[in-house]
Amino acid sequence: MKNIPQYAILVVVLLAISLNSNAQTTRFEFNPSNFWEQEYYKDTYSSNWIYLNNLTTESLSFRWRLISNTFPSEWSMSLCDLGSCFPTPPDSNDMNPTLLGGDAYFICHTTYNGFVGSGELKLFVFEIGDEANGDTVTYKYTTTNVVGVKENDLPDYEIRLFPNPAIDVLYLSTYESANVSSIRIYNSIGEYIYPAETDWGKLSNGISINLLSPGIYHVNVLFENGKQKTSTFYKSR
């Protein structure tokens, strides 16, 4: 009976360790996922984003390491993160810190140049100073010579931003049949320009950008079928 309090203390300590471990794993999350797999027609171009949403009230800094890159040499690709772009991914890189309320991201730009094949780009990303708090990021693509093959057979819509460069107002267009769920605008370091999701139904008169500083901005459009498209515009003055 004398050992019962010791057991109780041990249980409390183990529970505290477990809770602390869980807290570490929820400092950031991937959006829409840390794994992007898709099939494309051989003559198309893709630009797919993976966000690292900061779930804390502080700035986070991330580092990534290249695990593997099996993209065919016939494909042309570049990898961008929060702060850098590379025509070929290096062995590792430190991203710019995310500011309060901001997100880090990866963008894999790929042109398939008419080549039918498959490849995978895999990275390991983690908080600087806490390598245990990390996970893999994977882009896995396959190309086909069959026109119209899309992921899950869902329609894949294009978006267009104009004028580009823009000064005061930015307009966005997509196919009439596209059902837009939401629009988000980010600056070049991954901060939301609009803290809340922009309502598509209220944008017939364009998006006012006259208060934005000159620079590069990204517009992410989420469709009701789950597809996402991102395009970039430049605010000139």
CA separation (Å) from 164 to 80, 188, 200, 201, 233?
21, 16, 19, 22, 6
Indicate whether 71 and 142 sit together in one domain. Answer: yes
Res. 34: pLDDT tops 50: yes
Res. 152: pLDDT tops 50: no
* Pairing mode, strands 84-86 and 76-81: antiparallel
If one counts the domains in the chain, the total is 2
Q: What is the pLDDT of residue 214?
A: 84
Indicate whether 70 and 138 sit together in one domain. Answer: yes
Task: Name which residue leads in pLDDT, 135 or 166.
Answer: 135
Type of residue at 227: K
End position of a domain, from candidates 151, 174, 202: 151
User: Can you tell me the distance from the alpha carbon of 136 to that of 65, in angstroms, rounded to the nearest whole number?
Assistant: 9
Which band of pLDDT confidence, cut at 50, 70 and 90, is reported for residue 155?
low
CATH of the domain at 81: 2.60.40.10
Indicate whether 119 and 166 sit together in one domain. Answer: no
Indicate whether 160 and 146 sit together in one domain. Answer: no
Indicate whether 42 and 132 sit together in one domain. Answer: yes
- For 219-237, the pLDDT digits (tens) are 878 787 777 777 778 887 7
Over the chain, what is the mean pLDDT?
79
Judge whether 4 lies within some domain: no
- Residue 228: phi and psi, rounded to 5, are -130, 145
User: Can you tell me the distance from the alpha carbon of 40 to that of 220, in angstroms, rounded to the nearest whole number?
Assistant: 20
In the structure encoding, which two tokens stand for residue 97, read together?
A: 């810190």
What domain range includes position 168?
Answer: 155-235
Indicate whether 100 and 185 sit together in one domain. Answer: no
Indicate whether 53 and 79 sit together in one domain. Answer: yes
DSSP state letter for 187: E
- For 43-63, the pLDDT digits (tens) are 877 878 898 988 888 889 999
Which band of pLDDT confidence, cut at 50, 70 and 90, is reported for residue 22?
very low
Res. 9: pLDDT tops 60: no
Task: Name which residue leads in pLDDT, 194 or 163.
Answer: 163
Helix (H) or strand (E) holding 14: helix 4-25
Indicate whether 40 and 123 sit together in one domain. Answer: yes
Determine the longest span between alpha carbons in the chain, in angstroms. Answer: 78
CATH of the domain at 191: 2.60.40.3080
- For 188-202, the pLDDT digits (tens) are 766 677 644 556 666
Q: What is the pLDDT of residue 15?
A: 56
Judge whether 1 lies within some domain: no
Indicate whether 102 and 144 sit together in one domain. Answer: yes
Indicate whether 125 and 45 sit together in one domain. Answer: yes
Judge whether 22 lies within some domain: no
Res. 141: pLDDT tops 80: yes
Indicate whether 139 and 171 sit together in one domain. Answer: no
Task: Name which residue leads in pLDDT, 39 or 233.
Answer: 39
End position of a domain, from candidates 151, 168, 187: 151
Judge whether 76 lies within some domain: yes
User: Can you tell me the distance from the alpha carbon of 40 to that of 227, in angstroms, rounded to the nearest whole number?
Assistant: 14
Indicate whether 160 and 209 sit together in one domain. Answer: yes
Res. 23: pLDDT tops 50: no
